[in-house]
Structure 1
């Protein structure tokens, strides 16, 4: 039987309790955050820390692997696994291991003033609230190129976004002439889809001849049409890159307007695709939505032809293999962004978001209304 949102939540709660119970008082102080605040807007008040997220090698907030004993580290990975499909977990574990590969690519020489810059131990886990209790609770796992954000409300998994994975290098050689490409399918399918479009549709799908430097929405708490600055991709007080106040996307003015996120999606809709292209679009969606267990993935939504009709593909940059490029898939309750631009087109970012309920904002609001309603005028 397929997982359900409640089954997955139960496994998450058991794994979170086991990890928290293994920690001493000092570890727990770093590992435990306040419960999600029902009725609070994302990014505000007591919920500001839970809804602050990063995908750079900065302080994500929580307890790092370095601060844990091996047995605790194992329990932490058990919690991470509880929120992922098997394929999703293997991909996340591979991304963590790429820190060692990237260190070699850079000649083991990059120095940002800390003991190790490309560090597979600098991944953070934090639990918000009491796992398995009656109140909403959640957890966040993140580090360089990983950000997993999960919320449980009324005993069910209510949100799994933002969900970010990256790969640097995006492609690495393996023995026997094969290549390690943790996110390669998401790149190849999208390119095949845009290159299969007829000329008129392709002209509408390709919004700009050059790609942005990064995903357009950046690490915003809420998806909106605004320019994310490079400094916002790093927690205050930690290392920030040069040109920190420049746009993270490298876009300004007309180029930014061409790629701006708008309520009405840009590009070519699923309704305009033929049967083969629609199947390719659905498979592309699965490379993102199947990161999480079946019971909580929204992938089944796209069994409905009307839902697939509403998904739009937009592209920027060259459609030729090996050239810098960006794409996004946008529709109701869906924003997927991909970019592969840097390090000789060998550095990929791939994020899945739900603009309506990232971090579970709408579910928390409904919970608040149901369980904390204002008293009636008669004082009852």
Structure 2
């Protein structure tokens, strides 16, 4: 997938967005009192193994993601925090993340408002989304930031004044679908789910047989929250006794075998993942080389899984829990998750490796 006509090139876009991120991060940090600063800002990615190990730690379950939670911030600080979050997302990506965060209130009702324990007074808490900055925003050294909580994990790195990584990028939804007044349905990730299903159901039998690999779905995304994806010759078994193992060699049906409306559906599905980031930040994706794999039934409302995999793209989706009403989705760049490639090059150039 080449950039759209008129879209900024990656260097230009990376520099512009890095400037916005630095300004927003600096404003947020300046608003914090000394007691808040400790969890909010850690050493930068090039400041030693402890800081880097923390930067590579990520979750998508309701646990301590590391950082300063929104619930421990004053309203103006929360606004500044969300301003920083918005700099790393497209308009649609930001709206989707905000909707997912709001689902904590919906889930609280569905679970009969359970109480928390210890320091966590409220179990389903939209205030438990954590923001942490690594390093000095806008300075010459690499720096980054992470925002995460239940069903959200955003990871960003700036090197040389340019955004060099926006993945892993996880967005989930529980419930995946909830009723609205007037007969409507709230589905923050529904369009992504529908695009994949429509594509698979549009395939003729011979192609569908190569895309639909199993009649049941893995119980979760196979890559989980691993900091690194398997390289050449490596395989990750994933959940469920190795169901649909993950390796550098993609499974399923290649995009090169699609044309017309089916190819357009695949392009739209890829865009649903890479379009989470601001224009110009995602690496180009060769749709011909992207493989589509599906597991589980193709009827709406049934537990299912899909995967898109190419040289610069791994996207995974599952909607299996709660009878197919609890979705997980992740976008990763096998070559540049967490900006490890750019960070290694920077360290080699400026610090002798």
Give the TM-score of the pair, scaled to structure 1: 0.86
In the other structure, the counterpart of 1:342 is 321
Tell whether 2:269 aligns with 1:260. no
Structure 1 spans left out of the alignment, 5+ residues: 229-248, 375-380
Q: Which runs of 4+ in 1 moved over 4 A?
A: 110-113
Aligned 8 A contact 2:296 2:304 in 1: yes
Q: Return the offset for 1:227.
A: 4.6
Tell whether 2:18 aligns with 1:9. yes
In the other structure, the counterpart of 1:21 is 30
Tell whether 2:10 aligns with 1:31. no
Tell whether 2:257 aligns with 1:272. yes
Question: Structure 1 residues 110, 205: closer, same or farther in 2, change over 3 A?
Answer: farther
In the other structure, the counterpart of 2:339 is 360
Which residue among 216, 219, 225 is the counterpart of 2:222? 216
1:296-307 map, 5 Å:
296-298=281-283, 301-302=284-285, 307=286
1:150-189 map, 5 Å:
150-189=156-195
CA displacement, residues 145-181 of structure 1 (integer Å, 9 cap, x when unaligned):
0000000000000000000000001111111111111
Which residue among 199, 203, 211 is the counterpart of 1:197? 203
| C-alpha RMSD of matched pairs (Å) | 1.5
Which residue among 87, 93, 100 is the counterpart of 2:92? 87
Question: Structure 1 residues 296, 343: closer, same or farther in 2, change over 3 A?
Answer: same
Aligned 8 A contact 2:179 2:185 in 1: yes
Partner SS, residue 26 of structure 2: helix
CA displacement, residues 111-132 of structure 1 (integer Å, 9 cap, x when unaligned):
5553111100000000000000
In the other structure, the counterpart of 1:99 is 104
Aligned 8 A contact 1:8 1:295 in 2: no
CA–CA distance in structure 2, aligned partners of residues 78 and 361 of structure 1: 25
Tell whether 2:276 aligns with 1:291. yes
Aligned 8 A contact 1:149 1:160 in 2: yes
CA–CA distance in structure 1, aligned partners of residues 218 and 294 of structure 2: 10
Give the TM-score of the pair, scaled to structure 2: 0.93
Partner SS, residue 48 of structure 1: helix
Partner SS, residue 115 of structure 1: strand
Which residue among 255, 262, 267 is the counterpart of 1:282? 267
CA–CA distance in structure 2, aligned partners of residues 2 and 72 of structure 1: 33
CA–CA distance in structure 1, aligned partners of residues 15 and 111 of structure 2: 44
Partner SS, residue 103 of structure 2: helix
Tell whether 2:83 aligns with 1:78. yes
CA displacement, residues 207-247 of structure 1 (integer Å, 9 cap, x when unaligned):
2111011000000000133356xxxxxxxxxxxxxxxxxxx
Q: Return the offset for 1:109.
A: 2.9
CA–CA distance in structure 1, aligned partners of residues 19 and 37 of structure 2: 21
Aligned 8 A contact 1:147 1:164 in 2: yes
CA–CA distance in structure 2, aligned partners of residues 364 and 62 of structure 1: 22
Q: Return the offset for 1:343.
A: 1.1
CA–CA distance in structure 2, aligned partners of residues 147 and 320 of structure 1: 29
CA–CA distance in structure 2, aligned partners of residues 261 and 130 of structure 1: 36
CA–CA distance in structure 2, aligned partners of residues 92 and 66 of structure 1: 17
CA displacement, residues 253-304 of structure 1 (integer Å, 9 cap, x when unaligned):
xxx2x50012211100001112211111000111111111103133xx24xx
CA–CA distance in structure 2, aligned partners of residues 110 and 186 of structure 1: 33
Structure 2 spans left out of the alignment, 5+ residues: 1-5
Partner SS, residue 215 of structure 1: coil
Aligned 8 A contact 2:237 2:244 in 1: no
